[in-house]
Chain A
């Protein structure tokens, strides 16, 4: 499958899976043709779990000391998602937990890698930062994930200028009409919520 090339192609693709002009709180949102297409894309993806399983298997070899979690939320998101927790959750303590997140869209052969940093003080969450560009300290891990995506899933990274492109007539998750980006539509509208 070849990914679309132009911004207009991508916008057109996103509109196949979310109903244009319909807010996600509309009672009919889940019954639209577009959401049915999203559901069908998920059914197809879930019927063929092997490539994703192999991808996870290979990550386990690359990150032997990390805690890996398949954070896929079918239908609510548009991607399979994996968390690579680089360290342990600071239970009842203070510190920062850095998590690499790898996402593979089920709508197009594209992937996304980002970093989530959760800070806690005495066990209470006090802050969270997302990095969609590789922080210098994690550039090696980003490169490794990029290569693994290409090798195992034959996906391409969604360029940053496209990821942040607005699709103003769509509502995805809890993101309102006018605020949705291609990243919301093709991957997840809740990148900050991890298991």
Chain B
């Protein structure tokens, strides 16, 4: 299967005017952003099974620990984020492969949108929250009911993503 992660993401490489690699979607800012998360990183685990009845939507979630780095200051933080999708929503079953692909696309697009414009001198921690908000906003438009938040669900095996 060919994966189509939108663009480099999740590692803030600095304030390099003109060095942006992917301005195609119009979200680009002055920073170069490198790294690309893939659908394979989204190793969802089912936390609420689909009982097969009309009333049950079920739930799957994954916790990702992504390293964010600022190449100028050398600062880095671990952005921990949990992505969840219903197993079934108003429109029917949400297939795992579809959830993985859409999650990767929206994660890359969101990381690029946030980090390419993030002030290089600012602390990186809050960028994680901005990234989560951006990803949730994009993801829920593609799959109704999806959430992106802090890693709080017990039992999820963290998936580590370090673009360097």
Question: Could you list which residues of chain A lie within 8 angstroms of chain B, going by C-beta atoms?
Answer: 23-27, 29-30, 35, 38-39, 43, 56, 60, 67-76, 82, 85, 89, 91, 97, 125, 173-174, 176, 190, 193-195
CA distance A170 to B136 in the complex (A): 21
* Residues of A contacting B154 in the complex (Cβ-Cβ under 8 angstroms): 39, 43, 75
Q: B8-16, B22-30, B79-87: which lies at the A interface? A: B79-87
Chain A, interface SS category: loop
How far, in angstroms, from A39 to B133 measured CA to CA in the complex? Answer: 23
When A and B form their complex, what is the total count of cross-chain residue pairs whose Cβ atoms lie within 8 Å?
Answer: 102
Q: State in angstroms the CA–CA spacing of A24 and B148 once bound together.
A: 12
Q: Is the CB of A25 within 8 A of B145?
A: no
* Main secondary structure on B side of the interface with A: mixed
Chain B, 47-91, contact with A by CB distance < 8 Å: what is the 0/1 string? 110000011110101000000000000000111101010101111
B90 contacts A89, C-beta separation under 8 Å: yes
CB neighbours (8 Å) of A27 from chain B are 77-80
A152 to chain B, nearest CB (A): 15
Total B residues in contact with A, Cβ cutoff 8 Å: 39
Are B48 and A72 in touch, CB under 8 angstroms? yes
What is the bound-complex CA distance between A75 and B146, given in angstroms?
14
CB distance from B162 to the nearest CB of A (A): 14
Most buried by A among B133, B136, B145: B145
Closest to A91 in B: B91
Given known A-B contacts A69-B55, A76-B84, A173 and B149 have beta carbons under 8 A apart: yes
Does B56 lie within 8 Å of A67, measured CB to CB?
Answer: no
A71 and B145 contact, CB distance less than 8 A: yes
Rounded to whole Å, the gap between the CB of A91 and the closest CB of chain B is 7
Nearest first, the 7 A-B pairs at minimum CB distance are A195-B145, A195-B89, A195-B86, A25-B129, A25-B128, A75-B153, A195-B57
B151 at the interface (CB under 8 A from A): yes
> Is A26 a contact of B125 with CB atoms below 8 Å?
yes
Q: Could you tell me the distance between the alpha carbons of A160 and B140 in the complex, rounded to whole angstroms?
A: 28
State A42–B18 Cα separation when bound (angstroms): 49
B91 to chain A: closest residue by CB? A89
